[in-house]
Amino acid sequence: MLSGTGPADPAEPAVPAGDEPAVPAGDADELRQRARDFLASHDPATLPKLGFLRARFDAGLAWVHYPPGLGGLSLPRSLQSVVDAEFAAAGAPDNDPIRNGIGLGMAAPTILASGTDEQKQRWLRPLWTGEEVWCQLFSEPGAGSDLAGLATRAVRDDAGQDWRVSGQKVWTSLAHRARWALLVARTDPDVPKHAGLTYFACDMTDPGVEVRPLRQLTGEAEFNEVFLTDVVVRDRDRIGEVGEGWRVAQGTLMNERVAIGGGALPREGGTVGIVAAAWRAHPELRTPGLHDRLIRLWADAEIARLATERLRQQLAAGQPGPEGSAAKIVFARLNQELSALELELSGADGLRYDDWSQSRTETVSFVTRGPGYRYLRARGNSIEGGTSEILRNIIAERVLGLPAEPRTDTRVPWKDLPR
């Protein structure tokens, strides 16, 4: 896979640093003109896709809220839509955001917030252009929802330049396609569990990495389990300080919850639109009880859509906070209840299933599959990205200010905890 750090493509015009005039913050008109000037000199119809995307990144028109030199212009995040609209109108290629959702939604903001300058320069460009796909090695079979209880060990060698990592991770999307992984490992078992973690980027091409498909309820192998056996991780690929893995991981998880539950949808977009269409298509199946359920869920979906829009406006001004946990909980509940209602509205067709083959899907699309798939796949929405039970604790403690649950496992060394 291309690294994005070598010589530029022959068709990729150079963008000299500092050559472009600064854009005043918040000035949408000037940013729009800058995008048009770029498109005038970089014809998306004639340039190779990779060359075009690299040039767009170098011009600061990838993530406009990122710093100059890292794909952005240090502008408000809210101006991203101005740039995206100009590129879409010109028929310019995008960077396949669905294919690398973990990289764009979780890895990039983590690297920006906690990575070194060298790491930002090395990883962000090929990540944004889609040259390097990322996955997330967090969950473990023995830890469940308690991420801080993970057992994967990272032991530093005598020279202090490398770490040897061994353990097992599970529920890893895109591991079979990824070049890099966000990895949290235990580096000190002699301290309380939250304090003994360190955050790394793991090279998924290392011979010690084994990826196995994990077949799920839908019949697909959308996820993977990953076995790490003496995997060498360079210390230069450590993100954050030793022992600060929990802090760095919290930033990643907040971004993940916003990415899952905070997507922008039009009115009657997503599952609620599918269910409303099923209601209109099957008048013979309507009952007063089903009508009451549909109206309640439709109103809940509209409230969630408006609340998510407000959350997105708040995010435009800074980093995500624990409020993203609420958006993710609501998303999971609505998807599960709506897909169950659709199954009832489908009558006998709801018992059919379109494809039980173990396909290695890279994306989840509720729109292109049948009601049986939507019902089964929605069961995972309350688990992935943090279980709903854990997220309710976060909301209670960090948003509502309620007392924390009494716990004894946070004050003793991890090695002394029962497992």
User: Which is it for the CA torsion 118, 119, 120, 124, positive or negative?
Assistant: positive
Q: Give the single-character DSSP code of 146.
A: -
**207 and 147 assigned to the same domain:** yes
In a domain, 6, yes or no: no
| 315 and 255 inside one domain | yes
What does R_g of the chain's alpha carbons equal in angstroms? 23
Residue 28 domain flag: yes
Contact 234, 296 (CB under 8 A): no
Instruction: Please report the pLDDT score of residue 383 as a whole number.
Output: 85
Residue 271 confidence (pLDDT): 86
How far is Cα 44 from Cα 407, in angstroms, rounded to an integer? 57
Is 11 contained in some domain?
A: no
Give the amino acid at 252: T
Res 16: pLDDT:
32
Q: Which of 231, 246, 261 is the last residue of a domain?
A: 246
> Do residues 183 and 57 share a domain?
no
Inside any domain, residue 116: no
d(CA 138, CA 387): 14
Q: Same domain, yes or no, for 293 and 337?
A: yes
In this structure, the answer to whether residues 90 and 173 fall within a common structural domain is no
Return d(Cα 133, Cα 104) in angstroms, integer: 9
d(CA 153, CA 138): 12
Residue 226 lies in a domain: yes
Last residue of a domain, one of 196, 218, 246: 246
Q: What pLDDT is recorded for position 204?
A: 98
Residue type for position 72: G
Task: Tell me, yes or no, whether 106 lies in a domain.
Answer: no
Q: What is the mean pLDDT of each run of 10 residues along the chain (419 residues)?
A: 28 33 63 97 97 98 96 92 96 93 94 97 98 96 89 92 96 94 98 97 97 89 94 97 96 75 67 88 86 93 83 59 78 93 84 75 73 90 84 86 87 91
Interior angle at CA 195, CA 193 and CA 196, nearest 5? 70
| CA pair distance 77, 79, nearest whole angstrom | 5
Q: Are residues 305 and 203 in the same domain?
A: no
Residue type, 376: L
Judged on CB neighbours under 10 Å (0-12, 13-18, 19+), 159 is exposed
pLDDT, residue 90, reads 97
So what's the pLDDT on residue 305?
85
- CATH code for position 239: 2.40.110.10
DSSP 207: T
**What's the structural domain count of the chain?**
3
Could you tell me which of 381, 391, 260 has the C-alpha nearest to residue 325?
Answer: 391
The whole-angstrom separation of Cα 113 and Cα 182 is: 14
Q: Which of the listed residues 246, 264, 291 is the one where a domain comes to its end?
A: 246
Q: How far is the CA of 21 from the CAs of 31, 225, 237, in angstroms?
A: 11, 48, 34
Q: What would the pLDDT profile of 131-170 be if each residue is shown by its tens digit? A: 999 999 999 999 877 899 999 999 999 887 899 999 999 9
Asked if residue 262 and residue 224 are part of one domain, the reply reads no
Q: Same domain for 207 and 331?
A: no
**Are 278 and 391 part of one and the same domain?**
yes
Distance (Å, whole) CA 140 – CA 170? 5
CATH of the domain at 256: 1.20.140.10
Catalytic residue among 225, 256, 323, 342: 256
Nearest to 338 by CA among 379, 307, 308: 379
In a domain, 382, yes or no: yes
DSSP 8-state code for residue 238? B
Burial class for 375, CB neighbours closer than 10 Å (0-12, 13-18, 19+)? buried
Task: Give the domain range for residue 263.
Answer: 249-399
- Record the tokens describing residue 393, joined without a space: 């604790």
According to DSSP, residue 106 is labeled I
User: Is 146 found in the same domain as 85?
Assistant: no
> Rounded to an integer, what distance in angstroms lies between the CA atom of residue 199 and that of residue 183?
6
pLDDT at 406: 85
Tokens for 341, please give them: 């209602």
Same domain flag for 267 and 374: yes
Whole-number pLDDT of residue 11: 31
260 shares its domain with 234 = no
Query: Tens digits of per-residue pLDDT, 296-324?
Result: 999 999 888 888 777 666 665 555 566 67
The CA-based angle 48-361-141, given to 5 degrees, is 125
Does 337 participate in catalysis according to the annotation?
no
In this structure, is residue 298 part of a structural domain?
yes
Give the separation between CA 178 and CA 185, rounded to whole angstroms.
19
